[in-house]
Chains A and B, each alone.
Chain A
Amino acid sequence: DAKTTQPNSMESNEEEPVHLPCNHSTISGTDYIHWYRQLPSQGPEYVIHGLTSNVNNRMASLAIAEDRKSSTLILHRATLRDAAVYYCILRDPLNRDDKIIFGKGTRLHILP
Chain B
Amino acid sequence: ETGVTQTPRHLVMGMTNKKSLKCEQHLGHNAMYWYKQSAKKPLELMFVYSLEERVENNSVPSRFSPECPNSSHLFLHLHTLQPEDSALYLCASSQDRRYTQYFGPGTRLTVL
A residues near B (Cβ < 8 Å) are 34, 41-46, 49, 91-105
Complex CA gap A101/B103 in Å reads 14
Instruction: Check A93 against B98 for contact (C-beta < 8 Å).
Output: yes
Instruction: Check A46 against B56 for contact (C-beta < 8 Å).
Output: no
Q: How many A-B residue pairs have CB under 8 A?
A: 50
| Majority-rule SS of A interface residues | loop
Within 8 Å CB of A44, what residues of B? Answer: 43, 90, 92, 101, 103
For chain B, which range describes its interface: under 10, 10 to 19, 20 to 34, or 35 or more residues? Answer: 20 to 34
Of the listed residues B45, B92, B98, B104, the one surrounded by the most CB atoms of chain A closer than 10 A to its CB is B98
- Picked from A42, A46, A92, A103, the residue with its CB within 8 Å of the CB of B102 is A46
Complex CA gap A43/B4 in Å reads 10
Within 8 Å CB of B43, what residues of A? Answer: 44, 102
Instruction: Check A45 against B97 for contact (C-beta < 8 Å).
Output: no
- Picked from B2, B91, B97, B105, the residue with its CB within 8 Å of the CB of A99 is B97
Instruction: Check A43 against B104 for contact (C-beta < 8 Å).
Output: yes
Complex CA gap A49/B104 in Å reads 20
Known: A34-B100, A98-B98, A99-B48. 13 other contacts (CB 8 A): A42-B105, A43-B2, A43-B92, A43-B106, A44-B103, A45-B102, A46-B100, A49-B100, A91-B98, A93-B98, A100-B45, A100-B101, A101-B45
Interface residue B42 (Cβ < 8 Å from any Cβ of A): yes
Of the listed residues B90, B100, B104, the one surrounded by the most CB atoms of chain A closer than 10 A to its CB is B100
Within 8 Å CB of B56, what residues of A? Answer: 97, 99
Within 8 Å CB of B42, what residues of A? Answer: 102-105
